[in-house]
Amino acid sequence: MTQSWPQRERARELLSKEVGYVRKPHGGRMRVALAFPNTYFVGMSNLGFQTVYTLFNAQADIVCERVFLPPKTELAAQLASGAPLLTIESQTPVRDFDIFAFSVSFEWDYTNVLTLLRMAGIPARAEDRTHHDPLVMIGGAVTFVNPEPLAPFADIVAASEGEALIPSLLGAFRAAQDRDDLLRRLVAERGFYVPAFYEVKYADDGTIDAFLPREGTTAPPVVRKAALKATEAVDPPATTIFTPETEFGSRLLIEVVRGCANLCRFCWAGYNYLPVRAFPKERILERAAQARPHSQRIGLVSIALCDHPDIEEILTTLVGMGYSISPASLRLDDLTPTILRLLRESGERTVTIAPETGSDRLRRVINKTLTNDEILAAADLIFASGIENLKLYFMLGIPTETDEDLVAIRDLTLQLRDAMVKHARSRGHVGRIVGSVNPLVPKPGTAYQWLPMEDDRSIERKISRVRSLMAGIDNVYFTIKSERHSLYQALLSLGDRRVAPAIEAAERNGGNWRAAMAETGVDADFFVFRDRSRDRVLPWDIIDGGMKDAFFRAEADKAMRAEWTLPPKRQKENARLLATLHETP
């Protein structure tokens, strides 16, 4: 087909630069077109996406090929041409596959899911599809925390870590008589959610009253998330396709430890990936050794890297292999001089840390079990190791926040800068402190899931205040995310299936969310700025992530009293800090 020629050319060009992609004959296999709803450049840097691709193709009975959103410069032409969306590996139309699976990592990509469906010639809404269409499966962390805004578009939501899902999907596919039978078989398995199998009842005030399984569907009252139980016998997720055409170039990304036991009250990733599971040291190092010919740089993926019991040994061996190492954000409480020395030796010049706020009081509100003294002591270690730059993450709009807390962000940053300058003197070169400030979006599946987001005028005031506090400080650069951007992200995070028309409208109008709200009448304030503590059912209650409501409620109460819940590991080592729990806030 001539209209498809540019797509084929592009796919062949991309493949020619790749190492590690999989080509399999389609005959007799379950065919999965796996989409990352953003460009190739972004998607190929995503470890979750690469992992699902590898897991699918590890099954002899499955062939999985990739699909991406074309770059912006080509998107309009491709849409106008009406050419069918093709996979990268064999340049087969997506419509010819059995399953069109999406790995979604960011709320911002929800509109791209619809664009890809349109390009593939598949109806956007599940109710409009027939047995001629591939089964549309939507997965990825943001969707299994709260899949509801995407519910009308998914035949099935994968509420699961990929490792726990693929064998049951294949089993059900092999045994099923037809599409309906496949869906019924899948809902009998843990981790699969079929939104169309539920009728959502609403109360008069617009809140959800109940999710009612439809008769004859055998759908369970709640869908239990499926997760990998133990990691001792599992290969760590790692880059399997190397290409220079990505954000991280040919960097080997490898997951070292999953989860974080710190229990920060706002952190959906911390709660969602419990319990903490470390991947085996031997397998991490084996994979790193195999990948060394293709990669000089290794990205250690984890939200709590130093929770790995063998982290020092892992780093030592990686440095010995000649890798330069990029750690993800480091948790300060576990940093040691040895870890810092190894990072510096591997060429790292910047460390990223997340104080979240400038005051100890507010850190007790969010349960970040760190004090300013500890942060400054850690910064001293960091700069003494020869690392020159610091990247900092802060939040605004934390419950009980006052102007004093904003001033405390400036004061802490100044103290950190002083530490940087002190150590820079001997080198004769001063580094940079780069701060990133984001409004807090209360997230589903956290202790803050009932909280309204702080109203936009108040957040705007705080943004201006922090901007003026940070202005003109030498060697310090702050970027502050606008409240508007966060509002629509919050809507997609906290909404339910009634938000879907706004996603459709924003996809049609090129991402103008304000116009999409006006056109569809979706009330963003209802979903974002409302106190949900009296709601009978929250939109994301349909998925049971394993954490108990009573625990979250107790944590929310403790937040208002500025009390910590120390994770077991820190209870002992920080016994000296326990006294602060009894201070009056």
Q: How far apart are CA 261 and CA 569, in angstroms?
A: 8
Residue 524 sits in the site that holds ligand SF4 (CB under 6 A): no
Q: Considering beta carbons, is residue 151 or 306 the nearer one to ligand SF4? A: 306
**Interaction of residue 301 with ligand SF4, rule CB under 6 A:** no
Residue for token pair 């208002």: 560
Give 308 or 331: the residue with its C-beta nearer to ligand SF4: 331
Tokens of 467: 């901007």
Ordered DSSP codes for 471-503: TT-TTEEEEE--HHHHHHHHHHHH--GGGHHHH
Q: Which of residues 258-277 bind ligand SF4 (CB under 6 A)?
A: 260, 262, 264, 267, 269-270
Residues 137 to 156 in contact with ligand SF4, rule: CB under 6 A: none
256 touches ligand SF4 by CB under 6 A: no
Report the C-alpha gap between 135 and 162 in whole angstroms: 17
- Please identify, using beta-carbon distances, which residue of 89 and 356 lies nearer to ligand SF4: 356
Q: Does 395 bind ligand SF4 (CB under 6 A)?
A: no
Shortest CB 272 distance to ligand SF4, Å: 10
What's the one-letter identity of residue 584?
A: T
What is d(CA 64, CA 21) in angstroms, rounded to the nearest whole number?
A: 10
By C-beta, is 431 or 445 nearer to ligand SF4? 445
Interaction residues for ligand SF4, span 367-386 (CB under 6 A): 368
Whole-number minimum distance, CB 393 to ligand SF4, in Å?
9
In 3D, which of 56, 273, 303, 47 has the Cα closest to residue 163?
56
**How many angstroms separate the CA atoms of 370 and 375, rounded?**
7
Half-sphere exposure of 442 (CA within 13 A, CB side): 23
Which residue reads 């103008």 in tokens? 512
Would you call 560 helix, strand, or coil by DSSP? helix
Our finding on whether 506 is near ligand SF4 (CB under 6 A) is no
Q: Return the number of the residue (84 or 439) whose C-beta is nearest ligand SF4.
A: 439
Residues facing 224 on adjacent strands? 544
If the CB atoms of residues 331 and 497 are measured against ligand SF4, the closer one turns out to be: 331
Omega prior to 221 cis, within 30 of 0: no
Q: How far is the CB of 529 from ligand SF4 (least distance, A)?
A: 24
Residues in 306-335 that interact with ligand SF4 by CB under 6 A: 331
Binding mask 50-79 for ligand SF4 (x = CB under 6 A): ------------------------------
Helices (H), 22-109: 40-43, 47-58, 72-81
CA distance 449 to 494: 8
CB of 373 to ligand SF4, least distance (A): 18
Nearest distance from residue 260's CB to ligand SF4, in Å? 3
Residue 225 or 287: the one with the smaller Cβ distance to ligand SF4 is 225
Nearer to ligand SF4, 40 or 266 (CB): 266
Smaller CB separation from ligand SF4, 257 or 459: 257
Residue of 101, 240, 100 whose CA lies nearest to 160 = 101
User: Please, what is the minimum distance in Å from the beta carbon of residue 461 to ligand SF4?
Assistant: 25
Min separation Cβ 311 and ligand SF4, Å: 15
Q: Which is nearer to ligand SF4, 396 or 505 (CB)?
A: 396
Closest distance between ligand SF4 and the C-beta of residue 508, in Å? 36
Residue pair 68/109 in contact by the 8 Å Cβ criterion: no
Adjacent-strand bridge partners of 477 = 434
Q: Note whether 447 binds ligand SF4 by CB under 6 A.
A: no
Exposed/middle/buried for residue 118 (C-beta within 10 Å: 0-12, 13-18, 19+): middle
Cβ count within 10 A of residue 261: 14
Which position's Cβ is nearest ligand SF4?
270
Minimum CB separation from ligand SF4 for residue 235, in Å? 23
> Phi first, then psi: what are they for 19, rounded to 5°?
-120, 130
Nearer to ligand SF4, 104 or 440 (CB): 440
Restricting to residues 21-40, which ones interact with ligand SF4 according to CB under 6 A? none
Q: How many CA atoms lie within 13 A of 110 on its CB side?
A: 32
Residue 308 — φ and ψ, nearest 5°? -70, 125
Q: Helices 500-508 and 110-120: crossing angle, nearest 10°?
A: 70
DSSP-H helix ranges across 304-387: 311-320, 337-345, 360-365, 372-384
Least distance to ligand SF4 from the beta carbon of 64, Å?
30
Closest CA to 438 of 386, 387, 402, 490: 490
Binding flags for ligand SF4, 215-254, as an x/- string (CB under 6 A): ----------------------------------------
Stretch that binds ligand SF4, among 44-52, 75-83, 256-264, 357-365 (CB under 6 A): 256-264
> Of 148-156, 257-265, 459-467, 515-523, which segment contacts ligand SF4 by CB under 6 A?
257-265
Contact residues for ligand SF4, defined by CB under 6 A:
260, 262, 264, 267, 269-270, 303-304, 331, 368
